[in-house]
Structure 1
Amino acid sequence: MKTTISFFLILFIAAACTNSEPESISLFNGENLSGWHVDVPAMDNNPEAINPFIVRDGMLVSLGTPGGHLITDSVFQDYRLEVEYRFAGEPGNCGVLVHASTPRALYDMFPKSIEVQMMHENAGDFWCIVEDITVPDMEERRGPKEEWGITEGKARRILNLTDGSENPVGEWNNMVVECVDDEVKVWVNGDLVNYGYDCTATKGQLAVQAEGSEVEFRKLELTSIDKITSTE
């Protein structure tokens, strides 16, 4: 009898370990920019240039100018990134970059990456920044094939799938970006707004932009993802 109880106890513990939730980490501690570094060209030789990335009231804030990026020190692969953001004042532009690597690879500003757009009324667009990705209905969403490219002057924008997924300016938006192998999926407020595959990168740093508009972030949470349990 004791042997039988012990056997089932072992099975229960093993099942519990197998079904445990993946561990999530917050990329922003609410106090400082620990774990990140700033890449803002205007700060290179101008000691009076301000850092456009600040912490205010427990939030990470991109002031928008001068332009640049806040980049994680760490490299990530196979994950789900959840971001809560808002344009508190005027509608504006920003983005989250996944699979970021070589800094200032485009226009001496943007790191090599795939940008997931946050620009008001365009959230979920892909922008190819010296990396590339494929989506269904490619010509309809990217334009004529002969104009495609991943460098300056090329058709780098890939339109999202939906309109109306964003909340009004001043309200918080929830964006989820899931990167598994060479696929990238994006949800905005629960709507699947983009899906790409055959991405030319499968890992890299993460970055947020200063791109002309003030935007607040209250959540930047990353969950390492088991490929078996990725969201359909």
Structure 2
Amino acid sequence: MDIMNISLKLFCAMVLLWTSATKALQAQPAHSFTFGEGLSFDDLLAGKHKGSALRWIDVNTSDTSWYKEKDKLVGKGWPIGVVRSEKMYQNFILEVEWRHMEKGGNSGIFVWCDAQPEAHNRLPSGVEVQMLELDWVNQHKVNGQEPPIAYVHGELFGAGKTTTTPDNPRGVRSKSIENRCLGVGEWNRYRVVCVDGTIKLSVNGKFVNGIRESSKRKGYLCLESEGAKIEFRNLKVISLGEGYILPEQVVDVL
């Protein structure tokens, strides 16, 4: 009887260990990498200018969709999808340089994002900071008409289930009031200030767009892969102090 009890206990222990190991393996991301740096505004005030490495986790691209090349992160554009930041952010400043390597290239960065792709387009809900190459409007005429050039240089909008109020309305989206983006192969610099549901965007040194009253105000950052090669460099996230926020304005923790 004692031997049977010991055997049963050993069997149960082995089952528990196997279950725990299986869950741990399932919890591991398929692919992750580091790119960019994060620090707090208090760090900057204290004279610290070097932050910690930011970790990105694949959501629905692949382990060959993104690769590092010296100081750059290169996105090949396929499959369509996103990688997300390991951490969530509420109030922060995001700085990044980007350039498209193909005419008419399409990409962007999502902020306050749920990192949960929709079935119909493989993209998540959040506020998208648009990054289109200038020739996009020439390649996507509708009934012979070119879309407005304002569409390509830093349009801001609530994507998926996220809603926003535009500063410079183009329907529900907000367009930049001045075209400051450079074309294929040239570096553009975005500064994105995100505070309590309001976003202001600077393109190459000048603030030209904004949204407010975002339905989500804390979430993940996502880099978008949308069919064209794009390069990023000098990405920095500066965390600011937290503000008042309602539970429904925070995305689900992944």
Q: Structure 1 length normalisation: TM-score?
A: 0.70
**CA deviation after TM superposition for structure 1 residue 192, in Å:** 1.7
Counterpart for residue 190 of structure 2: 175
Whole-angstrom CA distance in 1 between matches of 2:47 and 2:220: 20
Aligned counterparts, 1:41-120, within 5 A: 51-105=64-118, 107=120, 109-120=122-133
How many residues get paired? 184
Is the contact between residue 37 and residue 71 of structure 1 (CA under 8 Å) also seen in structure 2? yes
Question: 1:20 aligned to 34, 38, 45, which one?
Answer: 45
Q: Deviations over 1:6-58 (max 9, x none)?
A: xxxxxxxxxxx99926866667x5xxxx61111226x5xxxxxx631111233
Higher mean C-alpha deviation, range 102-111 or range 116-125: 102-111
Q: Highest relative contact order (Cα 8 Å, sep 6+), 1 or 2?
A: 1
Counterpart for residue 151 of structure 1: none
Is the contact between residue 93 and residue 118 of structure 1 (CA under 8 Å) also seen in structure 2? yes
Shift in CA distance, 57/21, structure 1 to aligned 2, threshold 3 Å: same
Counterpart for residue 134 of structure 1: 165
Q: Which has the higher strand share?
A: 2
SS at 1:213 equivalent: coil
Whole-angstrom CA distance in 1 between matches of 2:44 and 2:181: 33
Is the contact between residue 168 and residue 175 of structure 2 (CA under 8 Å) also seen in structure 1? no
Is the contact between residue 78 and residue 227 of structure 1 (CA under 8 Å) also seen in structure 2? yes
1:203 maps onto 2:218 in alignment: yes
Is the contact between residue 80 and residue 177 of structure 1 (CA under 8 Å) also seen in structure 2? yes
Shift in CA distance, 211/24, structure 1 to aligned 2, threshold 3 Å: farther
Is the contact between residue 79 and residue 222 of structure 1 (CA under 8 Å) also seen in structure 2? yes
**CA deviation after TM superposition for structure 1 residue 100, in Å:** 0.7
Q: Deviations over 1:149-189 (max 9, x none)?
A: xxxxxxx6x14123421123211100011100010111110
Identity of aligned residues (%): 27
RMSD of the alignment, in Å?
2.8
Instruction: Give the number of the structure whose alpha-carbon radius of gyration is greater.
Output: 2
Shift in CA distance, 57/189, structure 1 to aligned 2, threshold 3 Å: same
Query: Where does structure 2 lack aligned partners over 5 or more consecutive residues?
Result: 1-41, 135-151, 244-254
Is the contact between residue 90 and residue 242 of structure 2 (CA under 8 Å) also seen in structure 1? no
**CA deviation after TM superposition for structure 1 residue 225, in Å:** 2.5
Shift in CA distance, 127/18, structure 1 to aligned 2, threshold 3 Å: closer
Is the contact between residue 22 and residue 224 of structure 1 (CA under 8 Å) also seen in structure 2? no
1:192 maps onto 2:207 in alignment: yes
SS at 1:40 equivalent: coil
Q: Structure 2 length normalisation: TM-score?
A: 0.64
Whole-angstrom CA distance in 2 between matches of 1:22 and 1:222: 16
1:36 maps onto 2:56 in alignment: yes
Is the contact between residue 186 and residue 194 of structure 1 (CA under 8 Å) also seen in structure 2? yes
